Structure 1
């Protein structure tokens, strides 16, 4: 009986060892696959965040260029307001201001990083707070900027106001022998109603450009904060 008990015990030990070996192998394989998936997800998250970070840097540079455009456009509005009022102006600034004062600036948005994120899956970004801020910037702020610049008729300054203003100003332009614009003959001969009408056009352009300038400054602030948060998040992940 003792011999049989020993044999049975050895068999159970053998089965238990085999079971534990198989269980351990399966568990290790599962953990290894999970580790590999986690590592791949981390690599994908880092790559996408870096792409978004670099895209936002380019957007910041575009906004900085827009700031220069707005500054010149606002000066141009004052310049033509002075012309309408019959004040002395510098003719050498005429061409630049004539070209820019009613021109729309083009909004360029670098969305390749965000498109990569959507393609991979928004959950690739593990931080709920960071993911929410990225979505809000691209889906709300960027989309509003696009709609105001491309679809909102009220901000189409060139078709709305350029020709109305130009019909009173252009007849007074002076050109050189090669038809380059070199100055304007002043004072403009305008009735009070015409002067007031022109002033209202300039006011409307100024209000519209001020709205868009403030919106671009708000985007600039959000972009700066988001880039800072992405950088801090990546540094924490890579420590």
Structure 2
């Protein structure tokens, strides 16, 4: 084909048909440009198709990750709610100087029980590798980024402060001194109930534990809500593909 056009061009030059040659040359340039544009469009379409396939694959993986996180969060909410209830029962008993009875043993036993969310972040780590802009839906991209870079980071920080600074550093050492236990973190009773009634340090730490549990449960519930919203948006995106 190229040889054919070259032959026509050479013939026109020999016959001194400059105007016709000029029109031909312009036409040839237009054809080349159109060919390049068509090739670029085909390449762009192929790249777009590959991007959508990659986006879909990552969204499916993230959907699985979030389902596991959601299950863990709900389990943690239940566990922390039970611990919170035990904290409040024991605080009420001590503040009102009520007698001890065996029904309080499990509540004393789980005063310092704690939870940690084990996040499933493989999809988000893969997404960061390819770039978060791979997610074409602006709202979905914003919510995913906020969950993994704001909510989860704040939860990690709060859990770290509760576990390392408060539970291990203050509350549990105080409990080991004040309580005798048949089974650690399950069943316990005060060594000296009369002394515990007036132990202001113990009461204040117990109140702080109750405050932290309220904060943690509220954060878990907020994350639970955001995960459900992201799951719904992912489902819509997958249906639209």
**1:89: Cα distance to partner?**
3.1
Instruction: Map 1:43-58 to 2 at 5 A.
Output: 43-58=53-68
Question: How does the TM-score come out when normalised to structure 2?
Answer: 0.77
Deviations 1:152-184 (A, max 9, x none): 6786323311221331222xx569xxxxx9774
- Residues 66 and 16 of structure 1: CA distance in aligned 2, closer, same or farther (over 3 Å): same
Q: How many residues align?
A: 221
Instruction: Map 1:159-238 to 2 at 5 A.
Output: 159-170=169-180, 173=181, 184=189, 188-190=193-195, 192-194=197-199, 196-236=200-240, 238=241
> Structure 2: how far apart are the matches of 1:124 and 1:159?
44
**1:86: Cα distance to partner?**
2.0
Instruction: Map 1:79-90 to 2 at 5 A.
Output: 79-81=89-91, 84=94, 85-90=98-103
Question: How does the TM-score come out when normalised to structure 1?
Answer: 0.77
Instruction: Indicate the larger mover: 153-162 or 13-22.
Output: 13-22
Query: Structure 2: where are the runs of 5+ without partners?
Result: 1-11
Match of 1:178 in 2: none
> Structure 1: how far apart are the matches of 2:156 and 2:188?
36
**1:27: Cα distance to partner?**
2.1
Decide whether the 8 Å contact of 2:69 with 2:118 is kept in 1: yes
Deviations 1:68-113 (A, max 9, x none): 211221233245446643232327x63x852x32133112122211
Deviations 1:29-81 (A, max 9, x none): 11111111111111111122222222111110010110221122123324544
- Residues 87 and 47 of structure 1: CA distance in aligned 2, closer, same or farther (over 3 Å): same
Instruction: Map 1:60-79 to 2 at 5 A.
Output: 60-79=70-89
- Residues 202 and 127 of structure 1: CA distance in aligned 2, closer, same or farther (over 3 Å): same
> Structure 1: how far apart are the matches of 2:143 and 2:217?
22
SS at match of 1:156: helix
